[in-house]
Chains A and B, each alone.
Chain A
């Protein structure tokens, strides 16, 4: 999870490294720790460390971690030569390693030779049938080939064995979302929230899915999850504030004529609108007029 302080730390380090201020290794370590995908920068700065034998020897055993990181980044940037060289260096150092085998199979994936990659993964799985990362790679491979239904099938099989893997649940939810299968996606997000109840972004995603599904009950639940997102972020998530406003107006429209006034709901909306206005005033004063017209149209309808 990337928190606010870590994000600003990462951005500051990135600017520093890009301008030649040093600290490349710290930057690469932080990228690894936060699991962010900045392959082009990792490739550039990682290579410059690897090519400098003085800096490289300072790393000690961490050198091999850097080789792996740079190899994956190179595959992501499609600099296959660099990836190949890194994999070769690692293979020379660890001739028997399964982890290097996985990296080589990923290289085959990046080259687009799917059958060979599949073969490599199958043989790796024969040695260790419970290797989670290799199972995940197979899902990714199906997805990369455009075989989305195949990816869903693999993922469901994987989740039958490793039910506690919330990253896989999240991936499944995102795949379902890409196919507009919102009910299934909502189920996956429920699992993710159960596993990590303090992450506001999962609450937000679940609320988005429910709001998209529509219907009075779903929208009411969506509003509750938007509210919990506001609670967890201290009202600093703009999307959740907008979500509360939209949900309230949608509920008002759905219950129109039924004369079931919800006083608490309207109060929540006005509070959210106030918070939004305050935030816009601070950060984007020129867009404030657009916001007020949008909010007005929501309350009128």
Chain B
């Protein structure tokens, strides 16, 4: 969790730095009076690195993804709960009483 946050933070910082570099680059272009055709290669690389780090952090920080298929092992219902509200005690277990020698001691 902490690691994910740290990496996400670094990613955001890198993105900001890339934006700042692009602005500076454009200011430089204005002085030399050249046309702006695209960011320099180093900024593009920085941008993709920042994006990668941010994506990784966004996928790991919120936790594990759960399966939504009804037939997956986590969601497949194999038995219903015993209807305990309608539980009756007058059943065939009476014939085979549980051997309980223990009692509640206080």
Contact of A4 among B69, B74, B85, B100 (CB under 8 A): B74
Q: Kindly state the separation between the CA atoms of A204 and B19 in the bound complex, as whole angstroms.
A: 60
Q: Kindly state the separation between the CA atoms of A43 and B98 in the bound complex, as whole angstroms.
A: 10
Q: Kindly state the separation between the CA atoms of A236 and B72 in the bound complex, as whole angstroms.
A: 10
Contact of B89 among A75, A82, A139, A167 (CB under 8 A): A75
B70 touches A7 (CB 8 A): no
Residues from 63 to 102 in B contacting A, C-beta threshold 8 Å: 69-90, 93-94, 97-98, 100, 102
A167 touches B78 (CB 8 A): no
Residues from 71 to 117 in A contacting B, C-beta threshold 8 Å: 72, 75-79, 81-82, 85-86, 89, 106, 109-110, 112
Q: Could you mark each residue 8-46 of chain A with 1 if its beta carbon is under 8 Å from any beta carbon of chain B, else 0?
A: 000000000000000000000000001111001001100
B31 within 8 A of A: no
Which residues of chain B come closer than 8 Å to A132, judged between CB atoms? 85
B71 touches A76 (CB 8 A): no
Question: With contacts A51-B104, A86-B104, A89-B104 known, is A78 near B77, CB below 8 A?
Answer: no
Residues from 199 to 256 in A contacting B, C-beta threshold 8 Å: 199-201, 231-236
Main secondary structure, interface of B, reads loop
A144 within 8 A of B: yes
A277 within 8 A of B: no
Which residues of chain B come closer than 8 Å to A79, judged between CB atoms? 98, 100
Which residues of chain B come closer than 8 Å to A109, judged between CB atoms? 89
Contact of B100 among A7, A77, A231 (CB under 8 A): A77
Q: Kindly state the separation between the CA atoms of A167 and B85 in the bound complex, as whole angstroms.
A: 9
In the complex, what residue of chain A is closest to B102 when comparing beta carbons?
Answer: A47
Which residues of chain A come closer than 8 Å to B89, judged between CB atoms? 75-76, 78, 106, 109-110, 144
In the complex, what residue of chain A is closest to B90 when comparing beta carbons?
Answer: A144
* Shortest Cβ gap from A231 to chain B (Å): 8
Chain A interface bracket (under 10, 10 to 19, 20 to 34, 35 or more)? 35 or more
Chain B interface bracket (under 10, 10 to 19, 20 to 34, 35 or more)? 20 to 34
A50 within 8 A of B: yes
Which residues of chain A come closer than 8 Å to B82, judged between CB atoms? 35-37
Which residues of chain B come closer than 8 Å to A110, judged between CB atoms? 89
B81 touches A2 (CB 8 A): yes
Most chain B CB inside 10 Å of its own CB: which residue of A1, A43, A201: A1
Question: With contacts A1-B77, A36-B81, A234-B71 known, is A76 near B94, CB below 8 A?
Answer: no
A54 within 8 A of B: no
In the complex, what residue of chain B is closest to A202 when comparing beta carbons?
Answer: B80
A133 within 8 A of B: yes
A2 touches B80 (CB 8 A): yes
Question: With contacts A51-B104, A82-B103 known, is A4 near B98, CB below 8 A?
Answer: no
Q: Kindly state the separation between the CA atoms of A67 and B98 in the bound complex, as whole angstroms.
A: 19
In the complex, what residue of chain A is closest to B70 when comparing beta carbons?
Answer: A232
Q: Kindly state the separation between the CA atoms of A47 and B100 in the bound complex, as whole angstroms.
A: 10
In the complex, what residue of chain A is closest to B79 when comparing beta carbons?
Answer: A2
A7 touches B79 (CB 8 A): yes
Most chain A CB inside 10 Å of its own CB: which residue of B72, B77, B80, B81: B77
Which residues of B pack against A, CB within 8 Å?
A: 69-90, 93-94, 97-98, 100, 102-106
A51-B105, A76-B89, A200-B70 are known contacts; what are 5 more A-B pairs with Cβ within 8 Å? A2-B81, A7-B79, A36-B81, A106-B89, A144-B90
